[in-house]
Structure formats: structure tokens, C-alpha cells
Chains A and B, each alone.
Chain A
Amino acid sequence: DVKVTQSSRYLVKRTGEKVFLECVQDMDHENMFWYRQDPGLGLRLIYFSYDVKMKEKGDIPEGYSVSREKKERFSLILESASTNQTSMYLCASSSRYQPQHFGDGTRLSIL
């Protein structure tokens, strides 16, 4: 069974902090994705990666960066957290052309 693990279910940080969200998958998937989900806006793609050290911007990359040093791990970085980045963050992985598998999400609050 595919397992996508996000390091934290709940996280509270302060404005201006540098925040790291971690995601690990155990299926040797090439593709990994970071989304945020907000009421009334649905899921929006922040960044994705189709290989180690490769990354592409999604629809809303501003204020975020990512890192993929190993195939199984994809990190989302909030360089200087702001209150408008309070949200549910979802990580997903997939093989090429195959269904995406999601983690349980990280509910991030920026105070």
C-alpha cells in the first residue's frame, strides 16, 4: 500500500519564522506535489517535482520554496511565514500518468 507521510498533523508558528513542512513517500514515485487547501478556494498547487533536484512552480508559488534532495522526500519551505499562509497543506506523490496518493495533511497556523 502506498504511504505518503507528512511530518506534522498540526503546527503553530509565528509570523516571520522560517517553516519547514516535510513529506516522505515509500513507493519510489517520480512525481511529488505540494498543495494548499482553503475553504471556498479548494486545492491549489504550490510546487511540484518530477525528479530529484527538479522543481516547477504551480499556481501559487509566491512566498514558498521547495527542496528535493532525495527521491522519497519533498520539503516545502515558508521563507518568512505570514498569517495569510495559515492553511491546510497536502502532499501527494505519483508515478508518471498514475493516480496521485495523498498524505493526511498538515494544518498550519501562523500567529
Chain B
Amino acid sequence: KQEVTQIPAALSVPEGENLVLNCSFTDSAIYNLQWFRQDPGKGLTSLLLIQSSQREQTSGRLNASLDKSSGRSTLYIAASQPGDSATYLCAVRPRYGGSQGNLIFGKGTKLSVKP
């Protein structure tokens, strides 16, 4: 059964620092991997989606990488800002055993960027 793990569970950094969030998954048979952001009491906002054939995706200050063979993904945030404070969730779409679009989520990393 596919399992997704995110380490650390919480992270606090000073403003301006570059940082990396980690995501690992147990089964490399995936269609894609998606990174989400969740603000307190709100729903999820999709940040980046990486297809299984891709190595990385970039959007502004965010860069997500995927190493399917080792079951790892990283989300790199450059020049962090207090507005980046949120919980970041990683999710994979299994290639087998699920139905159309079903996602398996990690428990998230809660990021706090201090001014």
C-alpha cells in the first residue's frame, strides 16, 4: 500500500532563507506527484504538479523535483517570505489500485517564516 511521508512535520526559518521541504513515497508506480499549500482553516491550493516522466517543475520562487526511482520529491522555496507561512502537503497519484485521480497525501510540513 502506497504511503507518503513528509519530514519535518514543522519548520521555522527567518525571512529570506532558502529552504527545502521533503516528501517520500513507498511505491514508485505513480502517475504524478502534486504539492499543495494549505492556510489555516482553508482548503488546499495546488502549487505544482510533476508528471512521472518529468524531473522538475518551477513556478516563481518554487521548484519541485521528482526522483521516482528513489521515491523522493523536494519542494524548494527561494527567498522565503512571511506570506509563505502555511502547511505544505505532498500527494501522489498511484498508477495502480486506485481510480481516476485518486490521491494519497502526506501529513504535511507546517512552515513558519519569521520576519
Contact = CB atoms under 8 A, between A and B. Distances in A.
B102 A102 contact: no
Contact of B44 (A40, A96, A102): A102
7 contacts: A31-B100, A33-B101, A41-B107, A48-B102, A50-B99, A50-B101, A92-B44
Nearest to A105: B43
Interface residues of B, number: 22
B46 interface: yes
Interface of A: 4, 30-31, 33, 40-43, 45, 48, 50, 56, 58, 90, 92, 94, 96-105, 107
B43 A90 contact: yes
Contacts of A105: 41-43
Contact of B89 (A43, A96, A99): A43
Nearest to B49: A99
Instruction: Provide the main secondary structure of the chain A interface.
Output: strand
Contacts of B41: 105, 107
Contacts of A107: 41
B100 A42 contact: no
Contact of A31 (B32, B46, B89, B101): B101
Interface string B75-115: 00000000000000101000000011111011110000000
B100 A30 contact: yes
Contacts of B24: none
B107 A90 contact: no
Given A42-B105, A42-B106, A103-B43, A48 B99 contact: yes
In this complex, the member of A92, A94, A98, A99 whose beta carbon has the largest number of chain B beta carbons within 10 angstroms is A99
A27 to B, nearest CB: 13
B73 interface: no
A33 B105 CA distance: 14
Given A90-B44, A101-B46, 17 more contacts: A4-B43, A33-B101, A40-B107, A42-B107, A42-B108, A43-B105, A48-B99, A58-B102, A90-B43, A94-B101, A96-B101, A97-B101, A99-B34, A99-B46, A102-B44, A102-B45, A104-B42
